[in-house]
Chains A and B, each alone.
Chain A
Amino acid sequence: MNSVDASEHYELGATDLSPSLLTIVIDTNPHAWAALEDSLPLSKAIANILVFINAHLACNYANEVAVVASHSQKAAWLYPSHDDPRKRTADRDGDVVMNGASDTPAPETNKYRPFRIVEEQVTRNLKELMDSTTGDDLRGNMSTMLAGALTLALSHTNRRTLAWAEEHGGANAEDAAADGNGGGGGTSTNRYSASNEDERLQSRILVVSVSGSTDAAHQYIPVMNSIFACQRLSIPIDVCKLSGDAVFLQQASDATKGVYMALAEPRGLLQYLMMAFLPDQRSRRHLVLPTRVDVDFRAACFCHRRVVDVGFVCSICLSIFCEPPPGGDCMTCGTHLDIGDNAKPALLPRKKKKKKRVNGASGTGTPMSTPTPGP
C-alpha cells in the first residue's frame, strides 16, 4: 500500500542500454608468431578471435567492432577498411579486373550477415598485409608497431563516440560540438563523465600481444601517451598476452582498469577470450575479473630506450635517463643539470638526491603527467 501515498518519486530514466565498441589490436609480428607456431598458429588464433568478435556482435544489435593489426613495420586497419574501394578491384598494374565474378561473390547464407562481413574483411586485409610484407622488412626488425596501433584504435574510438553521441542527441552532442570547436581539454571530461556513463558508447580496447616489450622500448613515450589518453577517457585496455613479456602493457591495463591475462596455455585462447574479455563495462561491475597484482612499473629511458629499474630523472621535465646525459644537459628540455662528479655513487644516496630534486621541481608547477617530448 506504500504506492498510494505516492511518497516515492517515479523516475523513468533512459533505461536503454547503450551499445559497446570493441577495438581489437592484434599483434601480427611475424617473428613472435613463428615462435608460437607449435602451440597456436596465427591462422588458428585469427579464427578464434573471429568467433570472439561474432560473440561480441551477438550480444547487442548495435555493438560495433574494429580490428587493427600492429605489424612489424606499420599499423594497419583490418576492419573496417578505410581504403578506396576501387583500389581493391584493381590488380597490380592498376587495371580493374573485369571477370565480373569478383563483384558478386555467391552470397553465403549460412552465416549471419554482419558476422560474415567482418570475417571477410579481416581475412582479406590480413592476407594483403602479409603479402605486402617483404623479407627486407623483417630483417633486423623484431618489434611491433604497438604505439601506432593503439593510436589508431584511440582515434577510431573517439570518432565513433562523437558520432554516436551526435546520433542519439542529448547534451553529449552539444558537448562534442563544443569540444570540436574549442578543442578545450576541460570540456572533454564532461563527455566522458561518470554521471552519464551508461548513456554513452561503451568502448574498450583489447590488445592481443605476442611480442616482448624489450623490442618495443623505443616506443615507450607514444605508448605511454596513448595509455594516459585511455585513462583520461576511461577506456579500459584489456591485454591478452600469448607470449613474451610486456612491461608497458601491464601498466596499460593497470592504469586503465582493464583486464590483464598472460595465457598459460595459448591453445585455449577462445575460452579465455569468452570468459575474461567478452563482458563489457556494465557487466564487469558484477564480475570478478583477473587483474594483475604485481604490475611491472619499470620505465624506458629516453636516451637509449632501455628498460631501467633505477635511472636519472630530470628535475625540470621528469625525463628518464639510464646514465647521466652527456654534458649534464637534459636531452629533452635542455636544462643544465648539476650532476655530482662521483662517477659511480652508491645507490641509496643518489636516490635521496633525486627525490629532493623532484620535490623541488613540483613546487614550481610542473605538470603531473609525463611530458610528451618527441622521440
Chain B
Amino acid sequence: MASATSRPLEYLEGLPGTTFYKLYQQPSTALAIFRRMLPDLAKCFVMALLYLKDPLPTADLEVWVNAESKKERDNALSILGRLHILSTTLTGENVRAYMVTNPFAASLRQALMGAEDSHSFGVFSQAPEQTPTSIADLDEYARRQWEGVMGYMVGTSALMSGQRDTVNLSKGVKQLLQAGHLVEIRGNRVDITKDGFGFVLQDVNTQVWHILILYVESAEAIGMDSVEVLSFLFLLSSLELGSSYDKSHMTPNQLRTLADLADFGIVYQEDADATRFYPTRLATTLTSDSSALSNPVTGSLTGPVGPSGGSSSGFIIIETNYRLYAYTSSPLQISLISLFTNLKYRFPNLVTGKITRQSVRRAIEMGITADQIISYLLSHAHPQLRKHSAAQSNGKGVPASVLPPTVTDQIRLWQLERDRLRATAGFLFKDFTSLTEYQAPCQYAAEIGVLVWKSDRKRMFFVTRHEQVAAFLRSQKVGGK
C-alpha cells in the first residue's frame, strides 16, 4: 500500500496552503483525502476531534495514545500537519491544543451529515437512457482503453498487431505520456523510458494515480486551474459505478477534463456531446485501497485470458528454482513479463520462463528496479501461491511471504551487484554544541520517520524533510528559556 499512497500524498504535500484551503471546500474532496491519504490512527484523531467544540490539548492526546505507540502517533500527526488538516492553537489557558482546520472540518462534517444543495457527489442523469450501459460494458471499456495506453507505451500494438483491434489513442494522451517522461517519441518510433518501465510494472491503482497527478500537473500549462481539476478527480472517485451522471452542471474546465479522462478509460461517454457520462471502475476505486480494487479490475485488466483465469486476479506462479509460469495470453502481460524473464515456451493460455541473473540485469539496465519486479510479481501472484503462504503462516507468528524468499532476495542481490549507491535528497543537521542538544531532535526525526542517517560521534544527522525538525528545534529553544 505504501507505494500506492505515497505518490499522490507526495504531490499533495507539495501544494501550497492556499491550495488546500480551496481544495477542502468540497465535501467530496475532504472525504476522499480523509479516506485515502491518512493512516488509521490519523483517521481516529480526526474523527475524535471533528465534533469537539474546543481544541483538544496536546497532553490529552498524548495520554490517549499508548506509550509504546509514540512512533505511530507522531507519524500520524506529522501527516495530518503536512496535509493541513490538523493545526495547533493556544487555548485560553495558554495550553497547546490540536484542532481540525476549518474548511476541512466543515466539509467533512458536511460529507458525513449531508448538506443543502452542494451537488458535491454528482448529479444523476434524469433523462431516460436509450442504450443503458452495464457494468460489464464499463469494465470492458476501461480495460480496453487502459491496456491500449499500456500497449502504446510498451509497443505491443506494433509487435502483435492483428491480435486485436488496437485502440486509437488521442493526441492528448500521447502528449501527457511524453510530458511525464514515460515515453520518448523519436520520429515515428515510441521509446519507453526508465520511468515508463517502472510505471508499467506498478499495479493499476498506482498507475491511475500516477497518470492523474501528471494530468493535474500539466493542467496548469494548458490553462486550467489545478485545484479545480484535482477536486473534480476526487469527486469522480466518490461516484457510483454503473449509474450515469448529468453533465449539465459542470463547468467548461470540468467538461474538458472529462473528455481527456475518457481517453484513458477512467470515465465513459458515448460521444463528446453526450449529456451524460459513466464513471468506470478505474474512477470509482480511486480512493479505495488496492486490495479492494485489484480483484475486479486487474482481473479484467489482465486481458481476455479465457475461462481458465477469467475470475482470478493473479496468474503468475513462481517456484523456488526461479521458474515462472504465467497463465495469460494477453500480449501486454507477456511483454511485461519478458522484460525481466527469459521466456521459454508459450502455450495458448500459459507462458513459462526462468528468472536469471542475465534477465534481471537486463531489466535493471533498462531502469527497472528490483522492487518494481517484486511488487509486480506479488500483485499478480496466483491464488495458489497466496494459499500456500497463508497455510504456512498458520501456527507461526510471522506471516510467510507470498513469493519464495530465495527468489525475492536474489532479485535484490542481483540489483545490488550493479547498484551500490543510492542518492537521497534531504537536509543535513550538524554543528550541535552538545550531545544532548543533538540527541533530542535526532530522536524526534527518527520518530516521525524522516531520519535517513545519523552519526552520534560527529553529531550530525540527515533527514528527508526538515520543516518539522526545525519546528521541533524552535519549540525546544522556547521551552528551554
Q: In the assembled complex, which residues on chain A have CB atoms less than 8 Å from the CB atom of B240?
A: 113
Task: List A residues 249-290 near B (Cβ within 8 Å).
Answer: 270-271, 274-275, 278-280, 282-283, 285-288
Q: Is the CB of B387 within 8 A of A12?
A: no
Asked if B69 lies at the interface with its beta carbon under 8 angstroms from chain A, I say yes
Name the segment of A188-196, A238-246, A317-325, A361-369 touching the other chain: A188-196
Q: In the assembled complex, which residues on chain B have CB atoms less than 8 Å from the CB atom of A199?
A: 390, 399
Asked if A110 lies at the interface with its beta carbon under 8 angstroms from chain B, I say yes
> How far does the alpha carbon of A116 sit from the alpha carbon of B114 in the complex, in Å?
9
Q: In the assembled complex, which residues on chain A have CB atoms less than 8 Å from the CB atom of B374?
A: 10, 12
> How far does the alpha carbon of A190 sit from the alpha carbon of B396 in the complex, in Å?
11
Q: In the assembled complex, which residues on chain A have CB atoms less than 8 Å from the CB atom of B394?
A: 171, 190, 193, 195-196
> How far does the alpha carbon of A6 sit from the alpha carbon of B65 in the complex, in Å?
35
> How far does the alpha carbon of A13 sit from the alpha carbon of B383 in the complex, in Å?
15
Asked if A16 lies at the interface with its beta carbon under 8 angstroms from chain B, I say yes
Q: Is the CB of A282 within 8 A of B115?
A: no
Task: List B residues 107-160 near A (Cβ within 8 Å).
Answer: 108, 111-124
Q: In the assembled complex, which residues on chain B have CB atoms less than 8 Å from the CB atom of A167?
A: 295
User: Given the known A-B contacts A195-B395, A195-B397, A287-B64, are A110 and B120 also in contact in the complex, defined by CB atoms under 8 Å?
Assistant: yes
Q: Is the CB of B122 within 8 A of A170?
A: no
B105 to A: closest C-beta gap in Å: 13
Asked if B267 lies at the interface with its beta carbon under 8 angstroms from chain A, I say no
Name the segment of B6-14, B41-49, B210-218 touching the other chain: B41-49
> How far does the alpha carbon of A169 sit from the alpha carbon of B120 in the complex, in Å?
36
> In this complex, what residue of B is CB-closest to A172?
B390
> How far does the alpha carbon of A173 sit from the alpha carbon of B34 in the complex, in Å?
31
> How far does the alpha carbon of A113 sit from the alpha carbon of B122 in the complex, in Å?
10
Q: In the assembled complex, which residues on chain A have CB atoms less than 8 Å from the CB atom of B117?
A: 110
Q: In the assembled complex, which residues on chain A have CB atoms less than 8 Å from the CB atom of B399?
A: 13-14, 195-196, 199
User: Given the known A-B contacts A169-B383, A170-B387, are A61 and B73 also in contact in the complex, defined by CB atoms under 8 Å?
Assistant: no
Q: Is the CB of A112 within 8 A of B111?
A: yes
Q: In the assembled complex, which residues on chain A have CB atoms less than 8 Å from the CB atom of B347?
A: none
- Which of A13, A61, A116, A170 is the one whose CB lies under 8 Å from B292? A61
Q: Is the CB of A9 within 8 A of B409?
A: yes
Q: In the assembled complex, which residues on chain B have CB atoms less than 8 Å from the CB atom of A113?
A: 121, 238, 240
Size class of A's contact patch? 35 or more
Task: List B residues 1-38 near A (Cβ within 8 Å).
Answer: 1-2, 27-28, 31, 34-35
Q: Is the CB of B115 within 8 A of A6?
A: no
Per-residue CB contact flags for chain B residues 73-99 toward chain A (1 = under 8 Å, else 0) read 100000000000000000000000000
Asked if A4 lies at the interface with its beta carbon under 8 angstroms from chain B, I say yes
Asked if B375 lies at the interface with its beta carbon under 8 angstroms from chain A, I say yes
Asked if B288 lies at the interface with its beta carbon under 8 angstroms from chain A, I say yes
Q: In the assembled complex, which residues on chain B have CB atoms less than 8 Å from the CB atom of A99?
A: none
Q: In the assembled complex, which residues on chain A have CB atoms less than 8 Å from the CB atom of B405?
A: 9-11
Asked if A18 lies at the interface with its beta carbon under 8 angstroms from chain B, I say yes
Asked if A155 lies at the interface with its beta carbon under 8 angstroms from chain B, I say no
Q: In the assembled complex, which residues on chain B have CB atoms less than 8 Å from the CB atom of A173?
A: 387
Asked if A308 lies at the interface with its beta carbon under 8 angstroms from chain B, I say no
User: Given the known A-B contacts A58-B112, A278-B44, are A286 and B69 also in contact in the complex, defined by CB atoms under 8 Å?
Assistant: yes
Q: In the assembled complex, which residues on chain B have CB atoms less than 8 Å from the CB atom of A58?
A: 31, 34-35, 108, 111-112
B414 to A: closest C-beta gap in Å: 10
Task: List B residues 369-396 near A (Cβ within 8 Å).
Answer: 374-375, 378, 383, 386-391, 393-396
Asked if B402 lies at the interface with its beta carbon under 8 angstroms from chain A, I say yes
Asked if A17 lies at the interface with its beta carbon under 8 angstroms from chain B, I say yes
Q: Is the CB of A4 within 8 A of B420?
A: yes
Asked if A60 lies at the interface with its beta carbon under 8 angstroms from chain B, I say yes
Q: Is the CB of A107 within 8 A of B402?
A: no
User: Given the known A-B contacts A4-B420, A112-B111, are A274 and B48 also in contact in the complex, defined by CB atoms under 8 Å?
Assistant: yes
Q: Is the CB of B420 within 8 A of A61?
A: no
Task: List B residues 270-303 near A (Cβ within 8 Å).
Answer: 285, 287-292, 295
Q: In the assembled complex, which residues on chain B have CB atoms less than 8 Å from the CB atom of A111?
A: 111, 114-115, 121
Q: Is the CB of A112 within 8 A of B238?
A: yes
Q: Is the CB of B288 within 8 A of A61?
A: yes
> How far does the alpha carbon of A258 sit from the alpha carbon of B218 in the complex, in Å?
50
Asked if A342 lies at the interface with its beta carbon under 8 angstroms from chain B, I say no
Q: In the assembled complex, which residues on chain B have CB atoms less than 8 Å from the CB atom of A15?
A: 1-2
Q: Is the CB of A196 within 8 A of B390?
A: yes
> How far does the alpha carbon of A168 sit from the alpha carbon of B289 in the complex, in Å?
14
Q: Is the CB of B66 within 8 A of A288?
A: yes
Asked if B255 lies at the interface with its beta carbon under 8 angstroms from chain A, I say no
Q: Is the CB of B416 within 8 A of A3?
A: yes
- Which of B44, B289, B313, B408 is the one whose CB lies under 8 Å from A279? B44
Q: In the assembled complex, which residues on chain A have CB atoms less than 8 Å from the CB atom of B378?
A: 12
Task: List A residues 1-60 near B (Cβ within 8 Å).
Answer: 3-4, 6, 9-19, 51, 54-55, 58-60
> How far does the alpha carbon of A107 sit from the alpha carbon of B121 in the complex, in Å?
11
Asked if B63 lies at the interface with its beta carbon under 8 angstroms from chain A, I say yes
- Which of B50, B112, B292, B375 is the one whose CB lies under 8 Å from A115? B112
A271 to B: closest C-beta gap in Å: 5
Q: Is the CB of B40 within 8 A of A271?
A: no
Q: In the assembled complex, which residues on chain B have CB atoms less than 8 Å from the CB atom of A11?
A: 401, 405
Q: Is the CB of B112 within 8 A of A6?
A: no
User: Given the known A-B contacts A274-B48, A280-B40, are A174 and B387 also in contact in the complex, defined by CB atoms under 8 Å?
Assistant: yes
User: Given the known A-B contacts A58-B112, A196-B393, A278-B48, are A287 and B292 also in contact in the complex, defined by CB atoms under 8 Å?
Assistant: no
Asked if B345 lies at the interface with its beta carbon under 8 angstroms from chain A, I say no
- Which of B119, B292, B388, B398 is the one whose CB lies under 8 Å from A62? B292
User: Given the known A-B contacts A15-B1, A199-B399, A288-B63, are A169 and B386 also in contact in the complex, defined by CB atoms under 8 Å?
Assistant: yes
Asked if A134 lies at the interface with its beta carbon under 8 angstroms from chain B, I say no
Q: Is the CB of B292 within 8 A of A283?
A: no
> How far does the alpha carbon of A54 sit from the alpha carbon of B51 in the complex, in Å?
14
Q: Can you list 24 pairs linking A and B with CB atoms under 8 Å apart?
A: A6-B409, A9-B405, A10-B374, A10-B412, A13-B401, A14-B402, A15-B1, A15-B2, A16-B289, A55-B112, A58-B112, A59-B43, A109-B119, A110-B114, A110-B118, A111-B114, A112-B121, A115-B111, A170-B389, A173-B387, A195-B396, A287-B41, A287-B69, A288-B65
Instruction: Give the top 4 A-B pairs by smallest Cβ distance, nearest first.
Output: A61-B288, A171-B390, A286-B69, A16-B291
13 extra interface residue pairs, beta carbon distance < 8 Å, beyond A58-B34, A167-B295, A194-B397: A3-B422, A6-B416, A10-B408, A15-B2, A58-B111, A110-B115, A113-B238, A169-B386, A169-B387, A195-B399, A275-B47, A285-B66, A287-B69
